[in-house]
Amino acid sequence: MNPSSATPPAVRVENLTVRRRRAVLLDSLDLTADRGVHGLLGPNGAGKTTLLRVLATVAAPSSGTVELLGRTPSSPSARTAVRRRLGYLPQQFGHYPRFTVRELVAHLAWLKEVPAARVPAAVERAVDRVGLADLLDRRMRTLSGGQVRRVGIAQAIVNDPELLVLDEPTAGLDPEHRAEFRALLRELGREAAVLVATHHVDDVAAACDRVTVLERGRRVVECTPAELAAAAGAETGGDDHGGGPAERGYTGVLHRFRRDGAVTPVPSPADAGATGTTETEGASA
Amino acid sequence: MSAPASPSADPSADPSASPPAAPSAGLLPVLRTELRRGRFLWWWAALVAVQLAGLYVYRWVWQESWADLAQYVRNLAFLTGPLLAALAARHGGRDRRLGAEQLAASVPRSRLQRTVAGLLPVLVCGTAAYLTVWLVTLAAAWPSASAYGRPLVGPVVGDLGAVALFASAGYVLGRLSGGALLAPLTAVCGYAVLLVWDVPHSSGWAQLVPVTFERHEGRFPAWWTGPAQLAWFGGPAVALVLAAAARRRWAAVVPLVVAVAGAVPLQAAAADGVWRPDPDADRLVCRGSAPELCMRAVHEGRRDEVAGYVRRAAELLEDVPGAPVRFEEASVSWAGSAGPGTAVFQLVDGPGASWESSERNVEGLRRDAVLRPLLGWGCSEDVPEDVPIWSEGVLRWAHGRLPGGGGDAASMGYVAEADPAAAAEAAAVLERMGGAERREWLGGYLAARDACDPSAVDAP
């Protein structure tokens, strides 16, 4: 994370608002993300998927500024340029059941304009990275839900994206593959900006460099996983909500936000020694 | 999940360093996968089977005429068009049905490129089915039809435009809607349009949906009709795709203008302008002598079918004064007169050609087609009182003399006797006559008939 460097951050969102009919899905949201893994946490309906849809150039903002990979994707040509460097796994990964894994990922590689000569190798490498090399020529309809999810991740990385947007990538994965996926996330984060929305706080704690908690379309807090874990004691007042420290911290900041409409600064483990600054956002933000 | 070497280790693997891919780059593998996995082989087989089954029923129409073959292949292509549209609608609604739209919306390939790529396998399937049917019928018709003219390519060009229209209309509907019932609804609506479009086949409007079961014997399509039909059908096909998927949707106006440019001359020309009379169609090819058999070049392949009846019929009238020595096939329009000494006959189509031409009596009809112009009292058929009531007895006798004609010709339906008793008596008397007596009587009969004077001849 180095937002102040000369090159623009991979994701810069300012004052982003998304409305659908009368509902406000995202409300004046600010977010900056660069190379590394950035987790998005929040309860159902918090706006995680809407935010990721905007970052994947699938949904348009109602107002605010969105800058992806140094471009504002408001024009078709700018969107196309961003999409060439983008990987996206939507919450619902629709696939073609009669295709084999190889055929499906190759099809998506074509859609992502991967040069034809590179497609076979890119497909094999992407599928290998998600641990499905043995199933390359299996039909999609014969795969388990977790395996389908991993194919979804494979298609997202087949074009070696600089911005990777993953919506619930670990849904349906068994614990063993979730652990492997975290390792993959960390590896991907060394080369790209990875934004991951998930309900698994453990995944965020294990794989993410930073985390943003959303609630009702607004940002509750942005911090490091360690800071979120440290917030457990401060925010819960000693109540034991179960789960690990990060999960308790997440629950605590949500409760505090709902109660007070704002979250006070979260003390980091090293207090002033944390890499990022802890931010707060009031109800009026 | 493994952690192989970083992709950035290979500079050539950096996608941002690569120029944008061409729209068609790598499309062939995508098409191959779609064709292999999308049940298109089954759809191709189903379309071919339905079209060939329909064409088999009407084989007697198209087997000896390239023009009729072109028309009937077109008819079946149109009649199976709604099925192709239904297939296209199902395929077009796939992303919506399977929830793949979100992902598709995030890729750099434009909506137009994705639409064309999705439409392509349907188009290939429909085109392959059409061309397969065309080639099969071409091979089936070759022995008979090759005597005259050559296969017509112009209608194929127009028909492929119609195939494209059915495919693109269904596909675009599928992309826009994608409901489970869309495919059957598309087929039903397609057939409703074809049914509603009920205009006289000779009118100009009929040329805009050129399905007709009228025959085009002795005609050929004007050279410009193929490109005009391609424009008329292909234009809306392209316009639909552009309107549904192009960034600049107004571009759809261009193919629509092309479509109108194709439709205007078709509508103005009407059937007579689209299917022009072929002056060469009535050209006769004559062979043999006493009798000489002249057949239209278009029917040269059927000479053997007629020659046996002609030879035996001529033998019946051997040495009869005034007996025809030349048998001539009727022209397309039945225009003109054959002149004295010539019997003009019409070919009888094969079994199934009409209600009366079953396997059972098609031989009798063919025999009658040769004997009637030879011996029938045809000069005053529109004035029944001028036709001797016994005259059909001459035909009955002649039928009985030819192989297979020993049965009761009247009961077979091809001799319509006004007075069966008189006809039977005349046939019996003719049969009992000696050779010289019969030749004399037949000579008088032919002279009276040619003069159209029933008073000049008595019953045999």
ipTM: 0.87
Q: Does any domain span residue A278?
A: no
Residue of chain B with shortest Cα separation from A84: B108
For B331-341, the pLDDT digits (tens) are 876 655 567 78
CA separation, residue B277 to residues B134, B147, B225 (Å): 23, 18, 15
Q: Does any domain span residue A132?
A: yes
In this complex, do B2 and A125 lie within 8 Å of one another by their Cβ atoms? no
What's the pLDDT score for residue B172?
A: 96
Residue of chain A with shortest Cα separation from B28: A116
What residues contact residue A168 under an 8 Å CB cut-off, 6+ apart? A91, A197, A198, A199
Q: Does any domain span residue A259?
A: yes
Contact residues on chain A for B1, CB-CB shorter than 8 A: 129-131, 150, 177, 180-181, 183-184
For B24-37, the pLDDT digits (tens) are 667 899 999 999 99
| Count of structural domains, chain A | 2
* CB of B4 less than 8 A from some CB of A: yes
Position B409 pLDDT exceeds 80: no
Q: A212: which 2 tokens?
A: 């943003």
Residue of chain A with shortest Cα separation from B26: A116
Residue of chain B with shortest Cα separation from A93: B100
For A154-199, the pLDDT digits (tens) are 999 999 999 999 999 988 788 888 888 898 899 999 989 999 999 8
Q: Alpha-carbon distance B142 to B301, whole Å?
A: 10
Q: How far is CA B312 from its chain centroid?
A: 34
What's the pLDDT score for residue B382?
A: 59
* CB of A84 less than 8 A from some CB of B: yes
Q: B396: which 2 tokens?
A: 């009955």
* CB of A49 less than 8 A from some CB of B: no
Q: Alpha-carbon distance B174 to A97, whole Å?
A: 19
Task: Supply φ then ψ for residue B135, to 5 degrees.
Answer: -70, -40
Least confident of A31-40, B194-203, B305-314: B194-203
Stretch B363-391: mean pLDDT, rounded? 76
What's the pLDDT score for residue A236?
A: 53
Q: Does any domain span residue A6?
A: no
Q: Does any domain span residue A91?
A: no
Q: B455: which 2 tokens?
A: 């008073």
Stretch A7-17: mean pLDDT, rounded? 92
Please say whether the beta carbons of A220 and A40 come within 8 A: no
Do residues A137 and A186 share a domain? no
Q: Alpha-carbon distance A228 to A209, whole Å?
A: 12
For B215-238, the pLDDT digits (tens) are 887 888 999 999 999 999 999 999
Give me the residue label for tokens 């008819």.
B75
The type of residue at B85 is A
Distance from CA of B106 to the nearest CA of A (A): 6
In this complex, do B2 and A58 lie within 8 Å of one another by their Cβ atoms? no
Position B6 pLDDT exceeds 50: no
* CB of B22 less than 8 A from some CB of A: no
Position A235 pLDDT exceeds 70: no
Q: Alpha-carbon distance A165 to B251, whole Å?
A: 34
Q: B416: which 2 tokens?
A: 């319509």
DSSP B57-125: HTHHHHTT-HHHHHHHHHHHHHHTHHHHHHHHHHHHTHHHHHT-HHHHTTSSS-HHHHHHHHHHHHHHH
A63-68/A11-20 β-pairing:
antiparallel
Q: What is the CATH number of the domain that holds A58?
A: 3.40.50.300
CA separation, residue B346 to residues A109, B327, B331, B349 (Å): 66, 10, 9, 10
Q: Does any domain span residue A279?
A: no
Q: Does any domain span residue A5?
A: no
Looking only at Cα atoms, what is the longest distance across chain B?
A: 112
Q: Alpha-carbon distance B34 to B95, whole Å?
A: 13
Do residues A15 and A111 share a domain? no
Q: Does any domain span residue A280?
A: no
For B274-299, the pLDDT digits (tens) are 998 887 778 888 988 878 899 887 77
Q: Residue B275: in which H helix or E strand, if any?
A: strand B275-277
Q: Alpha-carbon distance A31 to A219, whole Å?
A: 9
Helix (H, G, I), strand (E, B) or coil at A256: helix
Give me the residue label for tokens 């194919």.
A151
Query: Quick one: pLDDT band at residue B418, thresholds 50, 70, 90?
Result: low
Top-ranked range on mean pLDDT: pick from A250-259, A260-269, B109-118: B109-118
Do residues A138 and A176 share a domain? no
* Cis before B277? omega within 30: no
Do residues A72 and A173 share a domain? yes
Nearest to B103 among A85, A88, A114 (CB): A88
Q: Cβ-count burial of B337 within 10 angstroms (0-12 exposed, 13-18 middle, 19+ buried)? A: exposed
In terms of residue numbers, what domain contains A106? 96-159
Query: Quick one: pLDDT band at residue B354, thresholds 50, 70, 90?
Result: low
Please say whether the beta carbons of A98 and B37 come within 8 A: yes
Do residues A121 and A81 share a domain? no
Percent of chain B with pLDDT over 90: 39
Do residues A80 and A184 share a domain? yes
Query: Quick one: pLDDT band at residue B385, thresholds 50, 70, 90?
Result: low
Percent of chain A with pLDDT over 90: 61
For A120-160, the pLDDT digits (tens) are 999 999 999 999 999 999 999 999 988 999 999 999 999 99
Please say whether the beta carbons of B309 and B402 come within 8 A: yes
Do residues A48 and A62 share a domain? yes
Do residues A39 and A165 share a domain? yes
Least confident of A88-102, A105-119, B72-86, B383-397: B383-397
CA separation, residue B360 to residues A85, B175, B312, B364, B399 (Å): 75, 54, 21, 8, 15
Q: What is the DSSP letter of B21?
A: P
Helix (H, G, I), strand (E, B) or coil at A221: strand
Position B13 pLDDT exceeds 50: no
Q: How far is CA A131 from its chain centroid?
A: 21
Task: Supply φ then ψ for residue B295, to 5 degrees.
Answer: -125, 150
Give me the residue label for tokens 């278009």.
B298
Do residues A146 and A56 share a domain? no
Do residues A251 and A124 share a domain? no
Do residues A258 and A170 share a domain? yes
B219-221/B275-277 β-pairing:
antiparallel
Do residues A103 and A121 share a domain? yes
Distance from CA of A51 to the nearest CA of B (A): 14
Q: A210: which 2 tokens?
A: 């930073």
